[in-house]
Structure 1
Amino acid sequence: RVGEQVALIRHTVVMVRVATVATCTLNQWALDFGGNLERTLRSLREARERGATYRLGPELETTGYSCEDHFYEGDTCTHSWEVVAAILGSGLTAGFLVDVGLPVEHRGARYNCRAFLLDAKVVLLRAKTSLANDGNYRELRWFTAWKAAGRTESYVLPACVREVCGQATTPIGDAALQLADTLLGTELCEELFAPQAPHVRLALRGVEVLGNGSGSHHQLRKLDTRLQLICSATAKSGGVYLYSNLRGCDGSRMYFDGCSCIVVNGRLVAQGEQFDLADVETLVANVDLDAVASYRMAKSSFMEQASAHACDVLDCVVDLSGFALCSDGPGLASRCVPRQPKLPQAAHLHSFEEEIAYGPAAWLWDYVRRSGAAGFLLPLSGGADSAAVAAIVCSMCQMVVKVIASGDEVVLADARRIGGYSASERPASAADLCGRLLTTVYIGSANSSNATRDLAARLAAEVGARHLSLRLDAVTSALVSVFETVCGRKPQFRAAGGSANENIALQNIQARVRMVLAFMFAQLMPWVSGRPGFLLVLGAANVDEGLRGYLTKYDCSSADINPIGGISKGDLKSFLRWASRENTLRLPVLAEIAAAPPTAELEPACG
């Protein structure tokens, strides 16, 4: 009898809790409700096809993050709900928990929310409790934080949703989801960075899976801080942490750098690309929830604190205890082989030189493809700053050609449209594409040297740009002549005995004329080539110059866009040396430019 029981125990299948979960990176566009919906649906299909039962999306994915004062308009929320209604009506939420971001107006206030969708129902609207209101962020201008921690209210769903799912109300507020086999909660972007981050409270209440839909912009060396916070959130308390971020330039000056990830018990198990041109990237991983429980119960301090907290169970219209996160995904047949949890992996962090090469490059591509422009025009002086901008455009072209070679039809279509290729053509190389997209112009004067003129021409040839060279002396002489006619006095450079005011005025007029000429060439160069559109003028003013005020108003600091406006001179010099190497951007002339002494070349040499 005992032997039979032992045999029975040996043959009993141990039911482990392994869930297949998904997070995604989306390149959304402010107020592009149709396009945002298409990209969201694509990520849902990809997650379902790969067996996921839960999919997390980025912050405000229905509207795009950077709607700014358009959040004041009622139809922004209305169209956002229409996107949600389309998701509910798509059939993709059947047996599949979907987590999307949207703005919600409730009782005279507007909240930044997460909508949890399951089986064509809205099961919860989780409102953001800590808003980002520093640096580039002004969320308090458009939203208010949910201040009733751990509490919900009843929200009346709009007519477009009621028509699809026949549901009248859903809870709104701060709550977790009680599933059949685990508790699932939310931490929304800025909440991760807050002193009293929700992940601690939620972990002590038994939440094992946390989703963070975020809108975090690129900043040099910021990813390391972000990953440290995400890993430390679960290293201390255990848990599965899914992070989803936006990608691209969605209508403002910021670039969202993606790098969505999945972390289990403080260790990274999946990481997306930080700089990529794909509109949709979906990460899927098998995660072991039993490992979370074991991790927590191995810490006596965690168990002592957890025993003092009651679990916040969601009381909503849909009974989620009938949904198991560890079930087979709706896109797969029943499994015969147990799922294997994803093993930890090392985080991939770019050097800051690589970040300069790829971050602004991806931002430029997003900007030009959505602006209607036919490319860029760069005043190339032969100095370090404009050389760095030219190298970034070269990096952009290399990225585009690489992605096209991988089979991305969306990027190929954009490259054909912007570069003026026919339907049967494609860029033959990065230099070929650069020749279509970038025009450089050396705007010299009597004060310019042959050395800078030669460096500019050589760099343009190495990147493949269309290069022009001209002199502005006739224009500046005409302006000085007008002044002399009106005032009866002719300003002189310091070298000719002029005062400091005269010297500065004559330097500044050269810098300003260069920008005026740059905008003229940017407007007309497509016409010269027989193409429609215009060129975006690229600036080349680094952050040190902006902080110190070392610039001329309406010179290169006043271009359409400036890819290096947030980068220091020291970092740019290091980037130039890095980009000159054979295994990077392969632009050897950049090493000479980095080593050359800086000079404005706006006045004659004294003595």
Structure 2
Amino acid sequence: MGRKVTLSTCSLNQWALDFDGNAERILKSIEIAKANGAKYRLGPELEICGYGCADHFYESDTLLHSFEVLKTLLESPTTQDIICDVGMPIMHHNVRYNCRVIFLNRKILLIRPKMLMANHGNYREMRWFSPWSRLRHVEEYFLPRMIQEVTGQDTVPFGDCVLSTKDTCIGTEICAELWNPNSPHIQMGLDGVEIFTNSSASHHELRKAHQRVDLIKSATTKSGGIYLYANQRGCDGDRLYYDGCAMVAINGDVVAHGAQFSLDEVEVITATLDLEDVRSYRGELCQPHKDGHNPCHRIKTDFSLSDPDDVYLPTHQPIHWPLHKPEEEISLGPACWLWDYLRRSGQSGFLLPLSGGVDSSSTACIVHCMCVLLCQAVEDGNIQVLKDVRHIVADEEYTPQSPKELCGRIFTTCYMASENSSQETCSRAQELAAQIGSTHMNINIDAAVKGILGIFSLVTGRWPQFRANGGGRRENLALQNIQARVRMVLAYLFAQLSLWARGKPGGLLVLGSANVDESLTGYFTKYDCSSADINPIGGISKTDLKSFLAYCAERFQFSALTGILAAPPTAELEPQTDGKLSQTDEADMGMTYSELSVIGRLRKISKCGPYSMFCKLIHIWRDVLSPTEVAQKVKHFFRMYSVNRHKMTTVTPSYHAESYSPDDNRFDLRPFLYNTRWSWQFRRIDQQVSQIPSAGAAGLDQRGSV
């Protein structure tokens, strides 16, 4: 009796609206799956058109071209004799759905629309798609004429149904349905579905990967079963990086998995499993359904996933999956994202204003990590990576010799000094650039700053002064901002023309280096050198960046990072006082970076306004701050946040790595014009402070109540 099944799932680097490239990668994955003996191939969510089409989903062109690609897949000899499960948008009764199309030998077996939508955080699926809300209901879908001509079918089943082969039953979940408390796999498993598939477009966040693994292991621990997980990989057009992690699990154990981060555009994971292991596992767990149970609608097909002569076929056994540490994730995720952006943008490299501080040094190290990945991929025989590298450097004979040598080709750094800059930061930047291998420049901006101030003085008859020289607050801030903005202008000038000056073709992408905590408070100048083309660290906290630099110092032996980590963060925009720094970031912000991380998570993840944040922080910080001091911190944060919120409307597109990102363009949809007094909210905080005994923290009992 045939009982062993060989199944394939995959991670594909699809690109929104790249129908040619997407189709090529889908066919390549099917070809690999068949070569590995698989009878079922699963792909990522919306893989035909790309997940990130956004408002292009409204366009009839997107639907049309998706069906054209489907037609190509149906006609291809590659797709014969294997069940293919692909994702695309479909309009049914003039309603748009996010669907899986399952076909075999030029016949569509069923179309399964997504039932539970991802509609929070970075996801807006309800904007473009409707959920299929009719449980266990199946309708006829009338195929477009171009598909009818290939399949000979007028209609196919559309709705909440499962696929019944001659030897097993397969049920579909789509991405967010796995994360839902009422996941479809629960009822499908109780109704005898033995193989679950999940097609995802799940983005990377620091410390998130284990959640997927735990959910899938849990799904098959409770009632047994085989689980196939496919995911998008790469940057398909915006701030998100989809991190792969395709896997296969059975009865609570992962038996095969792919890479979380990789430059491979097509990765196929294949596993051979024994259906009898599922049946034995369920034998003592599952009970017959009570009356009133609504069974799954089964679509029968005359096809077997197993073979009668499979008795000697070895099956995959449970494996341990060592997940990356956060600092490793930073070295891999943003690096892969930068590579996708660079090779698809048509530019010839990156330019980074390198200040010698933690943030810009982290960005520089991420570029170096990208070059490490590229060199390793070339060494491993990745022809596509080598082709893309040669295209970027405009040399068809070039082969990178080392990450440092490659950095010299595609990475330019510059230290932009002013009269307020210190020799220490200049030296640190130069030393790190030398160790990384970037082409480095020292640029003095004083002439440009004085020229602009000269224009102002000519018009107004006045010359502003720094606070250290007797100027007021407005003058002091304006003089800082003009330095920062001049750096942005010069960064773009050198990005456009530095290769031209060296007799090389192309231009450079400008990299930003503002971290997530600075964005949260708006602690940067609008349109300064934080205004760049892309920012790989814009979703990463200062705390994590310091850990990442420590990791790089040890892994790559970058001794320059030791001094960078030890130096106090400063913008160096004000004159020094008696040879010492007159300005530090944390003093300017009125709180430490570690405090900001706590506040950021409470604001976004815990959804706290000023009053509820205060109520939580008086317990979290009870050992270090009195309630009055907590109140001052909370008020100060919300004033800074609301005064500077408008800066988020122009923030550089940043790699999304942190769940408390304040990016208003996609992730954090809050106003950018506030009543900065927060009069009602702050008054409630004051009332609460007045009710706490004067002993401060001692007035909070051990249970944390007031």
TM-score band w.r.t. shorter chain: over 0.9
Deviations 1:369-427 (A, max 9, x none): 00001100000000000000000000000000000000111000001111232x23211
- What amino acid maps onto 2:367 in structure 1? V
Task: After TM superposition, list the pairs within 5 Å mapping 1:351-430 onto structure 2.
Answer: 351-421=325-395, 423-430=396-403
The residue aligned with 2:656 is none
How far apart are residue 213 of structure 1 and its match? 0.5
Task: Tell whether 2:445 aligns with 1:459.
Answer: no
| Secondary structure at the counterpart of residue 530 of structure 2 | helix
8 Å contact from structure 1 (residues 420, 436) kept in 2:
no
TM-superposed deviation, 1:560: 0.5
Q: Secondary structure at the match of 1:389?
A: helix
Q: Residues 193-246 of structure 1, C-alpha deviation per residue, up to 9 Å, x if partnerless?
A: 112111101101111101101001111011011111111111111110000001
**C-alpha distance in 1 between matches for 2:174 and 2:434:** 47
1:327 to 307, 312, 318: 307
What do the CA deviations read for 1:103-144 (whole angstroms, capped 9, x no partner)? 001111100000001111111010000111111111111111
Distance 1:349 1:179 in 2: 35
Aligned to 2:215: 229
State the match for 1:8 in structure 2. none
CA 1:61–1:451: 2 relative to 1, 3 Å: same
The equivalences for 1:30-49 within 5 A come to 30-49=16-35
| Alignment deviations for residues 511-560 of structure 1 (CA, whole Å, 9 cap, x no partner) | 11101100110011121232332111000000000111211101132110
Amino acid at match of 1:390: A
User: Matches of 2:270 and 2:233 in 1, distance apart?
Assistant: 18
Contact 1:248 1:255 in 2 (8 A): yes
Give the aligned residue type for 1:500.
Answer: R
Give the 3 Å change call, closer, same or farther, for CA 306–213 of structure 1 in structure 2: farther
Measure, in 2, the Cα distance between the counterparts of 1:358 and 1:585. Answer: 14
Question: 2:447 is matched by which residue type in structure 1?
Answer: A
Q: Which residue of 2 aligns with 1:10?
A: none
Please tell me the residue identity of whatever aligns with 1:413: K
3-state SS of paired residue (1:105): strand
- The reply on whether 1:95 has 2:88 as its aligned counterpart is no
TM-score of the aligned structures, taking structure 2 as reference length: 0.80
Q: Deviations over 1:236-263 (max 9, x none)?
A: 1111000000110111121111111011
Q: Percent identity?
A: 52
Please give the residue correspondences for 1:282-297 in structure 2 after superposition, counting only pairs within 5 Å: 282-297=268-283
Instruction: Report the counterpart of residue 298 of structure 2 in structure 1.
Output: 314
Change (3 A) 1:149 1:367: same
Structure 1 position 336, deviation (Å): 7.0
Change (3 A) 1:72 1:603: same
Q: Give the match's secondary structure for 1:482.
A: helix
SS for the counterpart of 1:547 is helix
1:198-277 mapped onto 2 (5 Å cutoff): 198-277=184-263
The yes-or-no answer on 1:56 pairing with 2:38 is: no
Partner of 1:599: 570
Cα separation, 1, equivalents of 2:288 and 2:144: 44
SS of alignment partner, residue 421 of structure 2: coil
Check 1:517–1:306 CA distance in 2 against 1; reply closer, same or farther (3 A cut).
Answer: farther
C-alpha separation in 2, matches of 1:67 and 1:79: 13
Q: Are the equivalent residues in 2 in contact too, given 1:181–1:324 (CA < 8 A)?
A: yes
Structure 1, gaps ≥5 residues long: 1-14, 329-334
Which residue in the other structure is 1:589 paired with? Answer: 560
Aligned partner (choices 141, 146, 169) of residue 183 of structure 1? 169
Q: Which residue number in structure 1 is paired with residue 489 of structure 2?
A: 516
- 1:324 counterpart SS class: coil
State the one-letter code of the partner of 1:111: Y
Q: 1:589 Cα deviation (Å)?
A: 1.4
Q: Quick one: which amino acid aligns to residue 43 of structure 2?
A: G
Cα separation, 2, equivalents of 1:514 and 1:448:
13
> For residue 505 of structure 1, what is the aligned residue in structure 2?
478
| Alignment partner, residue 490 of structure 1 | 463
Partner Cα distance (1:375, 1:306) in 2? 64
Is the 2:2–2:310 Cα contact (8 Å) retained in structure 1?
A: no
User: Scaled by the length of structure 1, what TM-score is found?
Assistant: 0.93
User: Which amino acid is 2:363 matched to?
Assistant: V
Contact 1:53 1:327 in 2 (8 A): no
Distance 1:136 1:305 in 2: 39
1:76 to 41, 46, 62: 62
Say if 2:554 is the partner of 1:554.
Answer: no
What displacement does 1:599 show? Answer: 1.5
> How many residue pairs were aligned?
578
* Mapped partners of 1:74, 1:277: distance in 2: 32
SS of aligned partner of 1:303: coil
Matching of residues 95-244 of structure 1 within 5 Å: 95-244=81-230
Q: How far did residue 305 of structure 1 move? A: 4.8
1:472 counterpart residue number: 445
Give the match's secondary structure for 2:63.
helix
Secondary structure of the residue aligned to 1:40 is helix
AA at the equivalent of 1:458: E
Query: 1:304 offset after TM fit, Å?
Result: 4.6
Runs of 5+ unmatched residues, structure 2: 579-706
Partner SS for 2:373: helix
Relative contact order, CA 8 A, sep 6+: which one is greater?
Answer: 1
Amino acid at match of 2:380: S
State the secondary structure of the residue aligned to 2:77.
Answer: coil
2:351 is matched by which residue type in structure 1? L
The amino acid across from 1:595 in the alignment is A
Q: Return the alpha-carbon distance in structure 2 between the equivalents of residues 36 and 55 of structure 1.
A: 16
Note the aligned Cα RMSD (angstroms). Answer: 1.4
